[in-house]
Amino acid sequence: MTGFNIHNHQQAHFITFAVVDWIDVFTRPAHKKIIVDSLKFCQKNKGLRIHGWCLMTNHLHLLVSAQEDANLSDILRDFKKYTAFSILKDLKSNPKESRKEWMLWMFKKAGSQNSNNKKYQFWRQDNRPMEVTSNKFFTQKMKYIHYNPVKEGFCKRPQDYPYSSAQWYIDKTGLIEIEEILI
């Protein structure tokens, strides 16, 4: 899969998955739930270790690694494939989605421009994973992730945004259990 240059799967990586054309798909609760549930599934069943995360309206930031016997590239490939399929399925079948025709047209257009796709393309392929090799880099990326919703005006404090790991680092609560690490 394009964009995956992960060599040390057990080392933490900073990765951003963006929706094609930066389409604001994650404004709907059902689509946010697909992402959260899929991350939890990958933790429980595929060996994904989540150290930080933040879901915005059109992209997902992750600080992740894999358990010793797991391949991070494979986990992330499967995550992207499943979430794309599930969200597209929901879009097609949801009569209440006012942006349905436009979004499906955009995903189909993106898919037709990429020979790797059969019909639709949901996620961009330029993930550029960055290996976390120092505490300074880890802290920089974690701050970037957690302050993204504040910068966008969604909340005043990082811990007030439910779709991130910021609250976890304050009181060990949140939508997703985080595996804290030392670099």
Is the residue at 182 inside a domain?
Answer: no
Instruction: With cut-offs at 50, 70 and 90, classify the pLDDT of residue 1.
Output: very low
**118-136 pLDDT, tens digit each:** 799 999 988 889 999 999 9
Q: Is the pLDDT of residue 2 over 70?
A: no
The pLDDT of residue 9 is 85
pLDDT score for 128: 82
User: Residue type at 152?
Assistant: E
The rounded mean pLDDT for the chain is 93
Spell out the long-range contacts of 138-145 with Cβ–Cβ below 8 A and sequence spacing 24 or more.
Answer: 138/12, 138/63, 138/181, 138/183, 141/14, 141/52, 141/63, 142/51, 142/52, 142/63, 144/61, 145/52, 145/53, 145/54, 145/61, 145/63
Q: What is the pTM of this model?
A: 0.93
In a domain, 111, yes or no: yes
Helical ranges in the chain per DSSP H: 29-46, 72-93, 100-112, 135-151, 168-171
User: Is residue 179 domain-resident?
Assistant: no
Has residue 148 been placed in a domain?
Answer: yes
pLDDT at 4 over 70: no
In a domain, 8, yes or no: no
Is 181 among the domain residues?
no
The tens digit of pLDDT for each residue in 70-87 reads 999 999 999 999 999 999
Give me the number of domains the chain comprises. 1
Distances (CA, A) of 97 to 43, 60, 91, 111, 128: 30, 22, 7, 21, 32
Task: Quote the pLDDT of residue 183.
Answer: 58
User: Is the residue at 48 inside a domain?
Assistant: yes
What CATH number does the domain containing 30 carry?
Answer: 3.30.70.1290
- Which residue has 């929706």 as its token pair? 19
Q: Please give the residue range of the domain that contains residue 119.
A: 13-171
Q: pLDDT for 5-28, tens place per residue?
A: 788 788 999 999 999 999 999 999
The reply to whether 6 falls in a domain is: no
